[in-house]
Amino acid sequence: MEEKPGYCTLCRSRCGTINVVEADSLIAVRPDPSHPTGQAMCMKGKAAPELVHSPHRLMYPMRRTRPKTEADPGWVRISWDEALSETAARLSTIRRESGAEAVVFAVTTPSGTSLSDSIDWVERFVRVFGSPNICYATEICNWHKDVAHEFTFGCGMPVADYANADLILLWGHNPTNTWLAQSHAIGRGRAAGARLMVVDPRPTALATQAQSWLRVRPGTDAALALGLIRLLIEGDAFDLAFIRDWTNAPLLVRSDNGRLLRLRDVQPDAPADPWMVWNSHLGAAAPYDVARPAASQGGEHFALRGEYAVATIRCMPTRTDKVPNTSPTAASSGADLNGAAVKAAWEGGTNSGGSNVAQPGETSAHGSGSYSAFLRDPDGHDIEITVSQD
């Protein structure tokens, strides 16, 4: 009997494992605590010997010898060389006769299958073949996590640095059930002092342990997100230098037509037509060459809120224009709590302090322009967060 270190490939967690092999057979798998992701394994990983030695496991290429209309496909085992040659020949013929787009590749999820270590090669093959058509089976959480971040930042979302975090925010994320290695990393971060905030309607294990648990009604996350964004913006609790340098937040927007103000709007004969910002130090609008760092153009003085008159044109920075019009009020008592529960929960998560749990109430829509999410604060007050897109 031999014990071989390795890792489980049955999902993206890739838990470190000790694999017990006897007479060339895998007979047991257990966690390898010396591996960075080997502190725990799920039942699927532990069942690997049953999968590997299952009599139903597909081990070799098979060719169908009867029509698809027949109950018995008449599978016949063929060699790998035959399978590869036939497949390559068929694909080449279709590409030559009809173009690469005529082929749609169907791919299963790498997140929950043993494809996790091969998916990059499969995708590379599809790209090299030339077809843009992939029929992709994946989890509902996957596209925004990977693709939205790829569009925004140029790469998929990496795993968080939980070990060095001050605040761990899990939004609809339950790694205790879905990603054991990440769950363990969160435990390490919390042991190092990180506070935990969970947004989830379900009492997950991590939600019940969190300093702040915002128990949203399913489907109302956007209202909560906009409310939190508003708290961040109103408190300037974000990286102002980054916003000035890397976003269009300081660019002035014309109040009369909603377009970005350009130099020729106020100086028609100007040789160039850059966008404009408001320089608070100069007390005047100034051109902004976005090809150069904001810091070299007085970026620390670029206004991010306010309303200004440039010649006869009233303008405000783009960022002001984008502040969510989210007005938290107390729905049941009628008292204006100014988003107290959400704010308290947020601050409970971001500062040291006691626990805050906001419970779900009702959700309503007010036509296409606005909608509400209701939370309940620890004192039983319902807090309505109304999001208006006006």
The contact set with ligand SF4 (CB under 6 A) reads 8, 10-11, 13-15, 41-42, 44-45, 180
Query: Which token pair is 177?
Result: 């059930």
| Cβ nearer to ligand SF4, comparing 14 with 230 | 14
Nearer to ligand SF4, 11 or 223 (CB): 11
Strand order in the sheet with 195-199: 167-171, 195-199, 212-214, 356-365, 370-376, 382-388, 325-330
Q: Which amino acid is at 8?
A: C
Nearest distance in Å: CB 116, ligand SF4: 8
- By beta-carbon proximity to ligand SF4, the closer residue of 15 and 206 is 15
CB of 92 to ligand SF4, least distance (A): 37
Residue reference for tokens 């916003």:
243
Q: Which is nearer to ligand SF4, 14 or 215 (CB)?
A: 14
- Kindly tell me which of 29 and 228 has the beta carbon lying closer to ligand SF4: 29
* Minimal distance, residue 30 CB to ligand SF4, in Å: 10
Least distance (Å) from ligand SF4 to the CB of residue 350? Answer: 30
Q: How far is the CB of 51 from ligand SF4 (least distance, A)?
A: 10
Q: Which residues pair with 383 in a beta bridge?
A: 330, 375
Q: Which residue is nearest to ligand SF4 (CB)?
A: 45
CB of 15 to ligand SF4, least distance (A): 3
CA dist list (Å): 363 to 147, 216, 220, 229, 344: 29, 9, 7, 20, 21
How far separated are the first and last CA of the chain, in Å rounded? Answer: 70
CA-to-CA distance for 144 and 321, rounded, in angstroms? 25
Residue type, 302: F
Q: Which is nearer to ligand SF4, 53 or 64 (CB)?
A: 53
Scan for tokens 């060719």, then name that residue: 63
Which strands, in side-by-side order, build the sheet including 308-310? 252-254, 313-317, 308-310
